[in-house]
Amino acid sequence: MIHSRNRRLRVNESIRSLVRENVLTTDDFVMPIFVMEGENMQEPIPSMPGIFRRSIDLTVKECKELFSLGVKAVNLYMKVSENLKDNTGKEAWNKNGLMQNTIKAIKDAVPGMVVMPDVALDPYSIYGHDGIIENGKILNDATNEALAKMSVSHAEAGADLVAPSDMMDGRVQVIREALEQSGFTDVGIVSYAAKYASSFYGPFRSALDSAPKENVEIPKDKKTYQMDFHNSREALNEVFKDIDEGADIIMIKPGLPYLDIVSKVREAIDLPIAVYNVSGEYAMVKAAVQNGWLDNDKTIIENLTCFKRAGADMIFTYFAKEAAMILNK
């Protein structure tokens, strides 16, 4: 005779919901947003169906809709004009730059929205790299100083947190000290502590034209600063260093292929963990849905729930708006 039957707790949805270990809500989501110059402008991103580059006015409109759906945080990326790019990234800390004006506009229109601007030089670089280049190498410390200027300018514009995604060594400490010295003690840092050199970033780079440029004098990829995807112990080393340097939230990127890293980090730290459900992961699901191979709504919710099950506290995802609509049903 069988005394223990696990199926007793799966008999119906009411029982299943009582014993459910993880529940996905709109509070879990951060929506990445692409911003472009212009007015009343919206351009679709072909490799990311349903995702657009928008001018500031339409970005504000989108943020209002997101907030009404329960999505209370956005992560900002800029499509920078070619004439503003160079090897210093100086446009990144222009007080009247596209990023700074976008932050101000969102905070003015939706004060409760948590605004997390991306901190990296690749959208501003003529080379498409996250750092300043000299003699064919990405300079670590000079890049950190640029990232600190960028972060302070974001804080001055009204950012709630800054999100350095560059993977330079020691940049969290440099940014934290710059924010403190500038009086922004309440501005937090979402550190991309374990960001891997991944092939899943392709659609994102096409959205911002931020892929490394083909040039014999510079690295053709980002493997000298982003992590080797073969490694897992190294991730903990990166995480612990960023915590010591003053990170408030730890990011792991990409998401689905790195759930083991999310779980490993969750067991090791008490700080909030963010995971980035990146553009390639989004594109794969949308391609399968368009071909009729997957159910859109069910796949999205299952997809996002796995991040919480692995231990993430928040999910940066292009599905945020759509997922909120599904959950609100």
The domain spans of the chain are: 27-328
Q: Which residues pair with 195 in a beta bridge?
A: 253
Q: What is the pLDDT of residue 211?
A: 58
Residue written as token pair 């004006």: 101
DSSP H helical ranges for the chain = 13-18, 56-69, 98-109, 140-157, 171-181, 202-208, 233-245, 259-268, 279-290, 296-310, 320-328
Q: CA-to-CA distance for 268 and 240, rounded, in angstroms?
A: 9
Q: Strand 73-78 vs strand 29-35: parallel, antiparallel, or unpaired?
A: parallel
Q: CA-to-CA distance for 278 and 255, rounded, in angstroms?
A: 7
* Token digits of residue 247: 């990170």
Q: What is the pLDDT of residue 197?
A: 93
* Token digits of residue 7: 């199926």
Q: What single-letter DSSP state applies at residue 227? A: B
> pLDDT tens-digit profile of 125-149?
988 888 999 988 899 999 999 999 9
> pLDDT tens-digit profile of 17-66?
999 999 999 999 999 999 999 999 999 999 999 999 999 999 999 999 99
Is 274:307 a contact under the CB 8 Å cutoff?
A: no
> pLDDT tens-digit profile of 169-228?
999 999 999 999 999 999 999 999 999 999 898 887 666 665 566 665 677 788 888 999
Mean pLDDT of 251-274: 97
Task: Give CA angle at 127 (55, 191), nearest 5°.
Answer: 70
Q: What is the pLDDT of residue 213?
A: 61
Q: Is the dihedral of CA 100, 104, 110, 115 positive or negative?
A: positive
Active site residue 79: no
Among the listed residues 253, 286, 308, 321, the single catalytic one is: 253
Fold exhibited by the domain 27-328: TIM Barrel (3.20.20)
Active site residue 222: no
Is 81:53 a contact under the CB 8 Å cutoff?
A: no
Q: Which residues pair with 118 in a beta bridge?
A: 163
Closest by CA to 198, choosing from 189, 211, 186, 207, is 211
Q: CA-to-CA distance for 187 and 271, rounded, in angstroms?
A: 16
Q: CA-to-CA distance for 109 and 127, rounded, in angstroms?
A: 35
Structure confidence at residue 107 as a pLDDT band (50, 70, 90) = very high
Is 39 annotated as contributing to ligand binding? no
Is 170:116 a contact under the CB 8 Å cutoff?
A: no
Q: CA-to-CA distance for 135 and 28, rounded, in angstroms?
A: 43
Is 119:164 a contact under the CB 8 Å cutoff?
A: yes
Q: What is the pLDDT of residue 214?
A: 63
Q: CA-to-CA distance for 187 and 236, rounded, in angstroms?
A: 24
